[in-house]
Chains A and B, each alone.
Chain A
Amino acid sequence: MIEIQRLVKKFGDFAALGPLGFNFDQERILTVIGASGCGKSTLLRLLAGLETPTQGQIKLDGELITGPHKRISVAFQEPRLMPWLNVADNVELAIWDWPVEERKAAVEAALKKVSLTAFAKALPKQLSGGMAQRVGLARALVGSPRLLLLDEPFSALDPLTRVRMQDHLLEIVGNEGPNVLFITHDIDEAIVLSDRVIVLDGPPATIRRDLRIDLPKPRKRSAADFQEIKELLLADLLPERIGASDAASVAAAA
């Protein structure tokens, strides 16, 4: 169980987040969606232990999170690969404290998951954007984390690669993978991937809507219930500009 309890984050006088609280455990993928600058990434950085909360607390299976944690891993918006390390060594970085033999086996398995076994010895400069992002994903998965944080990891990819990566993520996470907290500002992506969507308002980031999505996967973007959810989320994200009745036309244009 991941528990976020009355979390507040201030940078000086600027209130970036909170108070904000929710729990999750049953949902494989929980997506946090919101406009740019609303505090999504601050939430992820707090969960990753890269920022310290001003108030409130985060617990993972009852354990208080006070900094980077072995069972929480992150894939960032950019792949953030160490350019001097090859693909295998980049993945291995996440489990540097494991015994050598276990490390090798885990890296092989992680690269297999993202279909990059043949590129184990390649340097990051030799990879395409999608491949580099897959290495970032393999690095985040290799330590079998309990919670995987994804910060708009596909936003810089071309639309085709993006769809492939979304399918890939669903395959990887499956039914036994880690709980995933996915940050995005792409409504379609949120609906395709998530079992639950939290819409944030802000700053400071607070919950506007907490929506469970029970549609069967894989989800068709053209399906009526998909469009219905999309309209609902669009109305949440563009409340001043759009009435709920106009949401359909905006959705069609998007």
Chain B
Amino acid sequence: MSELILNLVRPLGAPSWGRGLADRSSSIIRPLIFPALILLVWQSVGTFQLVDPVLLPTPTRVLGALWDMLSSGFLNPHLAISFQRVLLGFASGVTVAIVVGAITGYSRFWRSIIDPTIHALRTIPGLAWIPMFILWLGIDESSKVVLIAKAAFFPTYLNFMSGIARADRKLIEVGEVYRLRGARLVTKVMLPYSLPFLFVGLRQSMGVAWLVVVAAELMGASSGIGYVLLDGEMTGRAQIVMACMIVFALCGKTTDLIIAKISNRVLRWQDTVEKE
């Protein structure tokens, strides 16, 4: 009887309460199935010594190494300096990208002058910049931050510039009818219109920043997760290398999640079927 009443008050087309709960649980469980399988196979390979454990330590050994580094406090300063480099590089790279993207997106004239050069610079491999940055800026923090900033610049620039350049003509006309011009038209119409593009760029930039911090920390660093990872490799401790890889994955996922949450909040005006 109670099931009948629940079904009567339920909106048409909505899943039953029980089914809704089951759907939610399965949406949490489903993404974990594949990693769990990998872990199971990986653990079995190590336990049955099918591969040399020095080369492929078991997940329990890797997690043990990670726990040791965390509980002893050894990892904290390295984590802090890596975060500092990523956030500083990301912030400076995307700030420049937003300013330049707004200019080239709005003005065809400036786009024709600046954009081809940016695209040419984008094709230079990231590693090729390392010797130049070391020569110009030395081996300390600034070269690492600039390397990350350079890498973070491109995804945000490309997405944001496209967003501004492709702003809906009909909405721009509304702005023009109400006498919005220049910077005011950009801030009141084109910028909000391009926010979805900007957030895609920001998420890509943050991902790239975490990728590049490893390369940056190989540039003669004495601290950072990349340095700990390199140290693990030099001393033949594969469990340390893998533990550092897990740390990178967790840091990257956490920062991406934060940007995705901010994006969902800022873009709540979007009339979309699904939020990420």
Contact = CB atoms under 8 A, between A and B. Distances in A.
Interface stretch (B2-10, B127-135, B173-181, B218-226): B173-181
Interface residues of A: mostly helix, strand, loop or mixed?
loop
A68 B176 contact: yes
Contacts of B176: 49-50, 68
A190 B176 CA distance: 28
B189 interface: yes
B171 A82 contact: yes
Given A50-B173, A76-B170, A82 B180 contact: no
Interface string A46-63: 001110000000000000
Contacts of B34: none
Contact of A73 (B170, B177, B269): B177
A70 B179 contact: yes
B269 A48 contact: no
B88 interface: no
A interface, size bucket: 20 to 34
A93 B271 CA distance: 21
A115 to B, nearest CB: 22
A51 to B, nearest CB: 11
Interface residues of B, number: 20
Nearest to A69: B179
A242 to B, nearest CB: 35
Interface string A88-100: 0000011111000
A80 interface: yes
Interface in A92-117: 93-97
A96 B180 contact: yes
Given A76-B170, A82-B192, A96-B188, A123 B269 contact: yes
A48 B180 contact: no
A73 B177 CA distance: 7
A80 B171 contact: yes
A125 B179 contact: no
A84 B178 contact: no
A245 to B, nearest CB: 43
A84 B269 contact: yes
B179 A97 contact: yes
Given A93-B188, A96-B188, A83 B271 contact: yes
B211 interface: no
Nearest to A78: B170
Nearest to A136: B174
Contacts of B195: 84
B270 interface: yes
Contacts of A43: none
A180 interface: no
A200 interface: no
Nearest to B174: A80
Interface string B33-51: 0000000000000000000
A76 B174 CA distance: 9
Nearest to A83: B269
Contacts of A50: 173, 176-177
Nearest to B176: A68
Contacts of B193: 84
A70 B98 CA distance: 32
Q: Name the 3 nearest CB pairs between A and B, nearest first.
A: A125-B271, A84-B192, A84-B269
Given A73-B178, A80-B173, A96-B178, 12 more contacts: A49-B176, A68-B179, A76-B170, A78-B170, A82-B171, A82-B189, A85-B269, A93-B188, A123-B268, A123-B269, A125-B269, A125-B270
